Amino acid sequence: MKVNKARKYIPFGYKLMLSYSLFIIIPVLLVGYIANSVFVESMRKQTRTNIQGTLQQMKDNVQYKMENIQRISDMLYFDDKLAAHLHHYEMGWVNYEATKKYMLPKFRTAIETTTSKVWLSFYFHNETFNEIYSLWGSSDPLLRNPQVLEWYHIKRINEKIWYRQFPPENYGLTMQWRKIEDDDRYGRISLLRRVVDISQADMKEIGFLRISVYLSELFESLDFQKIGEGTTLLVTDNEQRIVISSGLPGWKSGDTWTGANPKEHLVIQQALPELNWNLVALVPTKLTDTDTDKIRTLTFIICLACFAIFSIAGFFISRFFSKRVSKIVSVLDSFQEGEFHKRILFKGNDEFTRISLALNDMGHNIGGLIREVYVTNLRKTEAELETLQAQINPHFLFNTLSSISRLAKFGDVDTQHLMVMNLAKFYRLSLNDGRANISILKELELIQAYLDIQQVKFGERMQVQTDISVGIIHFDTLKLILQPFVENCLKHAWCGDRIHIRITGTLERELIVFRIIDDGVGMSSPIVARLFEGTEDAKAGYGIHNVNERIKLYYGHQYGVKIHSKKGIGTTVQIEIPAIRYSDKKKTKIS
């Protein structure tokens, strides 16, 4: 046999030594550039996030103060007794008594519930009541008295534009925050709200509320120092006029804000929807550039040090690196990622050629083995799913047939017929032509058929309430994931001779969440833990284990069943599956 002698070749290490010094600078600069970009962008995002969080806190404080003012109006708006007094047109002593003993104390109590300086003006249609007000001249009432209460006849504002333009009443919701009358002059804003008589079908207006408060009170939390020195906070209205500011003196109330130079300021806005205004933060770029400059300097020093170290070490390790090694590593990485179709081919007669041939053979062999194992596991999973599905509710069928037998024995033909029809409907839906998944609508019909059967058995002792969101009925679910838990409630959860069960279904982000809630005897934590084992000593939990395993086999291990229970209080079972639209074209058969 003829033996082929190995051809001589120049070692690869010597070849690489000549080119190493040319290529080392490229990856160092690339890594340095990417690292610097990532760190700088991360710093800017962190700064923006922190400022947005601070603005959100300021917004929450403003909303809290506004809601505090709104609560004053709620105390008067929803007071039926106050409305009855305002609707009473009997002059003299009756109105005097109503004003003195109820109406005035009610209004004073309302404004005393807040620590803010407020001016409550109430305009009423019933002119049998007297007006109550003070003459303030050209001064601001809130400068003299922190809590002002005044009553006027409605005719004083009948011709006011802001009153005539007030929107139609939507009970409990219609209100406006506006600057009216002298609000702009004294830096105030008013909450406007009508008072209606709900005893009448048309909810006729019987009064009108105006609660004025200083803007400085609402925006007390507006402080530029919470963000940093040199920053500016502005509140702009829907016409981009500055309402109030904090920070640099260049921005004044009443000026029009036209934006800021992006090279000089980072602009972050937070909407105030109740006022239709915006909270604007102007952050000098110098504050963020200081940190980014430090990062750039540090990155440059690190890159320079790396380049020096690699250059010195290059002579000793150059023969271990090459383009061919990179290709081999890329193939190995592909193998690690499960992609065994990638191949490599080197020209020449050296060790890399032999490695490439070995890798190609290995990839081909491992790919075949992986496909074989995948098919085997897939068949195993399908077999497990079929086994679990086949185990569902044989005892339920036995119990129902026993009940039908007893009904036949006692001659209750109508009830017997009803149970037979519901049983047929239950199994028609549960068989589902051998498919594992059905729509949630069908699953609800299935559980209703089961409940109808049980209602015949238990009568008024069993009360079931369903609260299913309409938006989920066309999503996909495994069949028979609700019935085992309802069955467990009826079998093990009785506390006395009655039981109440509530079934809910909602869409929560990317999940469909079912909950079965009972007010039964409840369970301890160790018992709940054993329910998921599916062992012989946990027969009550066999259906729970079954449903949990089927969900995990079909959808994945991140989905399944959770149970929360307390003895003497009741049990809540939570079932989580992915929100997948049900399609007749995409069904999985079990048999």
Q: Which residues pair with 267 in a beta bridge?
A: 282
- In this prediction, residue 118 carries a pLDDT of 92
Residues 48-82: pLDDT tens digits?
888 888 888 988 998 988 899 999 889 888 888 88
Phi/psi for 172 (5° steps) reads: 85, -10
Section 160-167 average pLDDT: 92
Query: What is 391-578's CATH topology?
Result: Heat Shock Protein 90 (3.30.565)
- Rg (C-alpha) for the chain, rounded Å, is 38
In the predicted model, is pLDDT for residue 329 greater than 90?
no
Q: Which of 141-155, 244-258, 347-361, 364-378 has the lowest mean pLDDT?
A: 364-378
Tell me the DSSP string of 322-364: -HHHHHHHHHHHHHHTT---------SSSHHHHHHHHHHHHHH
* Among 92-96, 264-268, 287-291, 347-351, the least confident range: 92-96
Higher-pLDDT residue of 48, 521: 521
Q: What percent of the chain has pLDDT over 90?
A: 16
Average pLDDT over residues 271-283: 86
Asked if residue 318 lies in contact with residue 24, where contact means CB atoms within 8 angstroms, the answer is no
Q: The whole model's pTM is what?
A: 0.47
- Residues 287-302 have pLDDT tens digits of 766 767 777 777 778 8
What's the confidence (pLDDT) of residue 259? Answer: 79
CB 28 within 8 A of CB 303: yes
Average pLDDT value for the chain: 78
Alpha helix (H) ranges present in 391-459? 394-410, 413-431, 440-458
pLDDT band at residue 340 using 50, 70 and 90 as cut-offs: low
| 164 burial via Cβ count (<10 Å: 0-12, 13-18, 19+) | exposed
What is the arithmetic mean of pLDDT over 189-204? 85
Question: Residue 99: which pLDDT band, with cuts at 50, 70 and 90?
Answer: confident
Using the predicted structure, report yes or no on whether residue 94 has a pLDDT greater than 60: no
Give the pLDDT score at 467: 93
Helices (H), 165-284: 183-186, 215-218
388 or 509: which leads in pLDDT: 509
What is the C-alpha separation between 155 and 167, in angstroms, rounded? 19
Q: What is the pLDDT of residues 548-574, one digit of tens each?
A: 888 888 888 899 999 999 988 899 999
Give the pLDDT score at 166. Answer: 93
Of 418, 552, 571, nearest to 494 by C-alpha is 571
Separation of alpha carbons 461 and 579, rounded Å: 35
Its sign, for the CA torsion 458, 459, 461, 465, is positive
Rounded to whole angstroms, what are the CA distances from 337 to 333, 344, 515? Answer: 6, 16, 39
- What the block records as the tokens of 200 is 């009448």
Strongest mean pLDDT among 144-153, 326-335, 381-390: 144-153
Q: Which two tokens stand for residue 96?
A: 């005097």
